[in-house]
Structure 1
Amino acid sequence: MTLTTPSSARTSTDRPIARADLEGAVTVPDFLAGAGTLTLPERRLIVEQALVLLEQNYVHLPLKTAMHAVNPVQRLRLLRTELTRQTPQTMGPEWLFHKEMAGIFMSVRDLHTNYLLPKPFAGRVAYLPFVLEKATESDGDHYLVTSVVTGFSAPGFGLGVEVTHWNGVPIGTAVEINGLRLAGSNRAASLARGLDSLTIRPLLMQLPPEEDWIDVTFRAADGSTGEIRVAWEVATNLPPTTDLDAVSPASLANALDLDADERDRARKSLYHPEVVRLEGEQAEDGQLTEPQAVGAADLPTTMPSVFRARAVTTAHGTFGQIRIFTFSVQDPVAFRDEFARLISLLPPNGLIVDVRGNGGGHLHASEFTLQTLTPRPISPEPVQFIATPLNLALCRRHQDGAEGIDLGPWFPSLDQAVEIGATFSAGFTITPSDGANEIGQTYHGPAVLVTDARCYSATDFFAAGWADHEIGPILGVDDRTGAGGANVWTHQLLMQLVGDRASEPGSPYAPLPKGANMRVAIRRGLRVGALSGTPVEDLGVTPTVRHAMTKADVLTGNVDLLDRAGEILAGMPVRRLAVTTAFTRVGLRVEVAAGGLDRVDVYVNGRPIGSEDVTADPVVLSELHGAPGTVVLVEGFQAGALVASRRVVA
């Protein structure tokens, strides 16, 4: 049956409708005219498979049932019963089925656990030709237009205008209402998602808009007001970086807000064609062969869609700033190394690490990067399965680590859970500890992390690791991060790991029709350090300092936010620790240039060799035993506290 939108949502008007008219884009009615071919048996199969995932794989089910007073499993059972009573002639429209399925998954407020729509929705995005951002001033919140699709124009409408009403509803209320449809796990996250999806809706996870167009009331800088009617359009989105259905290290270690990732790719396509052009020049590993800069002030990078690094001048001094747009990469070591290279080129007296809007990606990339900013050993977050017979079978099948899939550490505790009544398995890390500590600290100035409610998944792990290892202050533009604390797998990936019931006796999985898919939070993450054992899910990471985005921030390059970050950095101590090695006739010579330290300890191949007070610059230790390839670790102390380290290979 063809998916249609209720006729009550369609009205006629003589008012002109503005369109972006991008190549290949179509109106919502034209798109819907060819959508929707699920049969009744296919709908029943989708519901059945959703029950398998939520009952037997979903790690947060007890938490979500308690925190949000929801029962998605019972809702699916009721829907299954309803479908058994229907016939092809009496079944409802397909849009209603998709709406019910999406509502059940979104009821748990988990952006990792999703119903993914079948073809032709997957890979498409509905959009309006502008972006809104919120600024907070003394007189309240303001919603400003900060990006407009090239070529789109409407009388009086453009960059910097303030939107006051959305289809006649005050804009703040419209954002609140829209946020209630989505899966934000806290109010800040709900509002952020509500604002984002006002103008961009990935159809992989969200139904097309009910409206053909939107009436936007706005106020210009001179105080004049206007109103335009803007049509929704549907276009093909850019392809994802990682095939999340394939059995690969990247998919197995995935922790990604897929809705945000889809939306970010759409924004890139609509508003940043220069980045899309550069991405087209990338090699298979996702990097450019030669570093290039997107903006004139940026450092050239081999990953322009991942990083933006530059020096920024604030009222409190000049500091380094690096934006991390995503952790969704194929090679986490290359990610870590490019991050370390870029920050080494930035001012050494302070670093602003900005992860706002980062929906996550590869957990290894997230947790490998922390080591570059702290002398402390990094403890990656442990994760747990929920104890169910299906998860036990999954870990039993892959307990020997064959084919690079090692679930052996979780198997004994799941096997024991039946006897002791445990809810979860024991916790073990996905990110290998040796990789999280392979190169150690490379930047020795102070650092501040900038977060918002759109930070999710692997970015929540990154922010939690930052806080748990006491790397530096966290400057938040929202009250907390998005609070996504899990490793997430798709139905297609699980089916490959266990086998489907046609080929593997006892498997509950079956292929889904028409390209439909689902995702589920499979392993939950736990904090380390002072909050050891606390789940990240629904709680997120609370900033140490809050900053509300101002009009100057959203319209002129985050100027007030950067000044606040600069103020924080200016009040923090600056360290310096450089190590050079050379071989002489009498042995290995180690030279240490130190600043802000009163003692250095030196280790050669893991063995303590010497400890020297910093009374001269440089500190020289010579006649040490070693050969080419020797690993030299220097740790710097101030008043007895470890505050810097440097690892080099002689």
Structure 2
Amino acid sequence: MAHRADSLTPDFVPHTAEAVREHLAAATGLPAFLEGAGTLSLAERRLIVDQALLMLDQNYVHLPLKSAMYAVNPVQRLRVLRRRLEQQTDETKPVEWLFHAEMSEIFHSVRDLHTNYLLPNPYRGKIAFLPFLVERYEDAQGEHFMVAHVAQGFSAPGFEPGVEITHWSGIPIAKAVDLNAARFAGSNAAARRSRGIQSLTLRPLAMHLPPFEEWVTVSYTDADAGAGAGATLRELRESWRIVDNALLPPFAGGAAPTGAALAMGLDLDMDEANRAKVMLFAPKVIARQRALEAGETAPEVRAGEIPTSMPKVFRAQEVQTASGTFGYIRIFTFNESDVAGFINEFIGLLRQMPDRGLILDVRDNGGGVIWNSELALQTLTPRRITPEPTQFINTPLNLRICRRNQQQLGDWLPSMEQAVEIGATYSSAVPLTPEDKANAIGQQYFGPVVLIASARCYSATDIFAAGFQDHRIGPVLGTDENTGAGGANVWEHQHLVELLAGDPETPYRPLPKGAGMRVAIRRSLRVGSNSGTPVEDLGITPDIPYRMTRRDLLEGNADLFERAGEVLKGLTPHVLSITDATAAAGALRLKVKAVNVDRLDVYVDQRPRASVDLSNGQADLTVPDAAGAHSARVEGFVGGELVASQTARLN
């Protein structure tokens, strides 16, 4: 058995990357961390429960759905807890971790990763970790749980990417994953199990209490080829460590509830975990991000990778498959407050992709700013984008918030006032993303696209995947039965405090000692052929199911890329390009090249002006009386179906 001592500094840290070495050296063991935890007074506990009761009863948009689907009553549980707190004194109150455990259990009971109780200091902003990552794959023998990544510098006999876990602290690994999954929120079975795997080695303490066990014992097998005896059974005992999760700061919308702060659709647990994964297993991303922010020369990217100004958001490259060479863009997060910068960087990467096809990968993306996810859709299709509409639940307090903040929330107000008379459960459905902005840029990539999604996709990423499917942009290739199913816009408690700031009768009170709460405030509905279907709990069912393989985990998604390449090979690219737009003598001359297009329609300043059939893949058009035009748009058709569109800005 290999034993890792619980020293002040993990022994692998001196050998890890310079970008994270000093930070990880400050990690503490679990017992030392817990010595400073637990400072809430009884009055502060009562305040937290009162505010939770207010949010779930008056603001939580999914309360009727969750109560029906899961037979839970979180509001009544909070009332009971509040009654018990009234009967306690500072001398008789239970230890604090039991209070946090009950609060977390009540919030987890609704199985909604948008709706969280956030633990106070010193938990908030911390991550509990083991220096390796476990992932699942399938083959003909069934499912396996394998070490996929190991922190740089960490070593133990035979312990490396590729070893298979058999037991976790004496529990068969599949059962350990299921037990873990039952403890964590998730809107469907696939999402819960996926979280159960991830939380084996990563626990964001803002959402979860520290592990009860101070260390884990991992039983694993390695292949001892030299001995010729096949698998060798080994054990590793590793202590949990606690460290600040701040090397890649999250987007902070601030207390002011404006702009992107009110358009958030984020699984905070996934976002925290993803940032921790970068710190532990991809420190080069941190070094590159720091260099870009400081205006310095960024470290070289991997061979074949396309540099990006947002390395924590995107990774782009070309991938070689048996079906051909295709573009690949990974979107790690939509959690970027610079919306224009996000979209411009995405467009810049799209323009470097081959026209033959694009693999767009959003696995494990916990969401972020909903505007980013919905504005990006237009760049991939000639069809007009309809953003997902959203609804409040009709309550007196939500009505009061909308009345006081009409500049931002006035579109929902008339239906909420009408609900006082007609008793409607939900407000009218209004998009968060303005439809004109969702179509202002237009198509930028003209090849076929396949989207790869997983059960760890959530919130804004669920909305992106739903929009991708609803607008028939391309097939969705899913590594799980469905996505995480987070169909809502989420607000923090501090936003509710600020939205009624100055109201002498506001019921919201600031929370003590860094405690926090989040709530799904507006639910989202799908469009197109799925119009009106909620995303919450249902998620997006992939068009093409896929199961990750051992080779995927060890060789950079090799089999996954091959499958995506097969899908793209069966799809037809429809390329359209305005190569020249010239104004002369009051007319507008357009030169257009097209591939797999049989008809062109021409619009000048949004007005139809010409339509021509194509036979040789190019056209030279003159539009009379077009002096001073601001834009020209050409739309390409095949058999009467719109397949490509490009807009040229004039003057």
TM-score by length of 2: 0.94
Amino acid at match of 2:163: V
Distance 1:520 1:115 in 2: 9
* 1:224 correspondence with 2:232: yes
Does the 8 A contact of 1:17 with 1:213 survive in 2? no
Residue of structure 2 in register with 1:378 after alignment: 385
Residue of structure 1 in register with 2:521 after alignment: 522
Does the 8 A contact of 1:291 with 1:301 survive in 2? no
Moved more, 151-160 or 58-67: 151-160
Does the 8 A contact of 1:275 with 1:294 survive in 2? no
* 1:274 correspondence with 2:281: no
Aligned-pair CA distance for 1:332: 1.7
Distance 1:572 1:562 in 2: 15
Number of residues paired by the alignment?
627
* 1:416 correspondence with 2:418: yes
Distance 2:98 2:61 in 1: 28
* 1:160 correspondence with 2:162: yes
Amino acid at match of 1:231: S
Moved more, 149-158 or 468-477: 149-158
Does the 8 A contact of 1:176 with 1:194 survive in 2? yes
Does the 8 A contact of 1:244 with 1:490 survive in 2? no
Residues 639 and 14 (structure 1 numbering): CA distance in 2 closer, same or farther, change over 3 Å?
closer
Residue of structure 1 in register with 2:631 after alignment: 631
Secondary structure of 1:466 counterpart: helix
Moved more, 525-534 or 273-282: 273-282
Aligned-pair CA distance for 1:294: 3.2
Residue of structure 1 in register with 2:542 after alignment: 543
Q: How does 1:95-244 map to 2 (within 5 A)?
A: 95-222=97-224, 223-238=231-246, 239-243=249-253
Secondary structure of 2:450 counterpart: strand
Q: How does 1:499-518 map to 2 (within 5 A)?
A: 499=501, 504-518=503-517
Residues 584 and 617 (structure 1 numbering): CA distance in 2 closer, same or farther, change over 3 Å?
farther
Distance 1:152 1:349 in 2: 41
Does the 8 A contact of 1:549 with 1:561 survive in 2? yes
Q: Which runs of 5+ in 1 are unaligned?
A: 1-12
Aligned-pair CA distance for 1:586: 5.7
Residues 590 and 14 (structure 1 numbering): CA distance in 2 closer, same or farther, change over 3 Å?
closer
Residue of structure 2 in register with 1:388 after alignment: 395
Residues 16 and 520 (structure 1 numbering): CA distance in 2 closer, same or farther, change over 3 Å?
closer
Distance 1:108 1:160 in 2: 36
Aligned-pair CA distance for 1:151: 1.6
Moved more, 634-643 or 242-251: 242-251
Q: How does 1:553-632 map to 2 (within 5 A)?
A: 553-579=552-578, 580-585=580-585, 587-627=587-627, 630-632=630-632
Q: How does 1:483-498 map to 2 (within 5 A)?
A: 483-498=485-500
Residues 122 and 584 (structure 1 numbering): CA distance in 2 closer, same or farther, change over 3 Å?
same
Which residue of the other structure, out of 328, 339, 352, is the alignment partner of 1:345? 352
Distance 2:381 2:235 in 1: 52
Does the 8 A contact of 2:287 with 2:299 survive in 1? no
Secondary structure of 1:30 counterpart: helix
Amino acid at match of 1:240: P
Does the 8 A contact of 1:242 with 1:250 survive in 2? no
Alpha-carbon deviations, 1:567-608, whole Å to 9, x = none? Answer: 011001111100131233463210110111110000000111
Does the 8 A contact of 1:333 with 1:368 survive in 2? no
Which residue of the other structure, out of 230, 243, 265, is the alignment partner of 1:255? 265
Residue of structure 1 in register with 2:227 after alignment: none
Does the 8 A contact of 2:586 with 2:626 survive in 1? no
Distance 2:2 2:605 in 1: 79
Distance 2:212 2:562 in 1: 42
Alpha-carbon deviations, 1:65-93, whole Å to 9, x = none? Answer: 01111100010000000100111111100
Residues 206 and 629 (structure 1 numbering): CA distance in 2 closer, same or farther, change over 3 Å?
farther
Residue of structure 1 in register with 2:20 after alignment: none
Residues 136 and 622 (structure 1 numbering): CA distance in 2 closer, same or farther, change over 3 Å?
same
Aligned-pair CA distance for 1:629: 6.2
Which residue of the other structure, out of 303, 313, 316, is the alignment partner of 1:306? 313
Distance 1:289 1:526 in 2: 44
Q: Which runs of 5+ in 2 are unaligned?
A: 14-23, 225-230
Aligned-pair CA distance for 1:155: 1.7
Does the 8 A contact of 2:2 with 2:237 survive in 1? no
Amino acid at match of 1:236: D
Aligned-pair CA distance for 1:14: 11
Please give the root-mean-square deviation of Cα atoms over the aligned residues, in Å.
1.6
Alpha-carbon deviations, 1:598-641, whole Å to 9, x = none? Answer: 10000000111100001233201125333566211100000011
Secondary structure of 2:436 counterpart: helix
Secondary structure of 2:285 counterpart: helix
Which residue of the other structure, out of 437, 457, 460, is the alignment partner of 1:458? 460
Residue of structure 1 in register with 2:19 after alignment: none
TM-score by length of 1: 0.94
Amino acid at match of 1:590: L
Secondary structure of 1:536 counterpart: coil
Residue of structure 2 in register with 1:315 after alignment: 322
Alpha-carbon deviations, 1:310-344, whole Å to 9, x = none? Answer: 11011111111110000000122221121111111
Alpha-carbon deviations, 1:400-427, whole Å to 9, x = none? Answer: x1xxxx1001011111111101000000
Does the 8 A contact of 2:2 with 2:235 survive in 1? no
Distance 1:381 1:562 in 2: 30
Moved more, 463-472 or 619-628: 619-628
Does the 8 A contact of 2:2 with 2:157 survive in 1? no
* 1:363 correspondence with 2:362: no
Residue of structure 2 in register with 1:531 after alignment: 530
Alpha-carbon deviations, 1:492-532, whole Å to 9, x = none? Answer: 11100112xxx532211001110101000000000011111
Secondary structure of 2:635 counterpart: strand
Distance 1:129 1:473 in 2: 36
Does the 8 A contact of 2:597 with 2:617 survive in 1? no
Distance 1:101 1:506 in 2: 26
Distance 1:283 1:411 in 2: 41
Secondary structure of 2:633 counterpart: strand
Amino acid at match of 2:310: M
Which residue of the other structure, out of 295, 313, 317, is the alignment partner of 2:302? 295
Distance 2:112 2:254 in 1: 18
Residue of structure 2 in register with 1:8 after alignment: none
Does the 8 A contact of 2:402 with 2:410 survive in 1? yes
Residues 292 and 498 (structure 1 numbering): CA distance in 2 closer, same or farther, change over 3 Å?
farther
Does the 8 A contact of 2:523 with 2:534 survive in 1? yes
Does the 8 A contact of 1:587 with 1:626 survive in 2? yes
Does the 8 A contact of 1:242 with 1:328 survive in 2? no
Does the 8 A contact of 1:175 with 1:194 survive in 2? yes
Aligned-pair CA distance for 1:247: 2.4
Amino acid at match of 1:551: R
Does the 8 A contact of 1:256 with 1:359 survive in 2? yes
Calculate percent identity across the aligned residue pairs: 54
Amino acid at match of 1:247: P
Distance 1:293 1:440 in 2: 32
Distance 2:4 2:306 in 1: 45
Residues 15 and 596 (structure 1 numbering): CA distance in 2 closer, same or farther, change over 3 Å?
closer
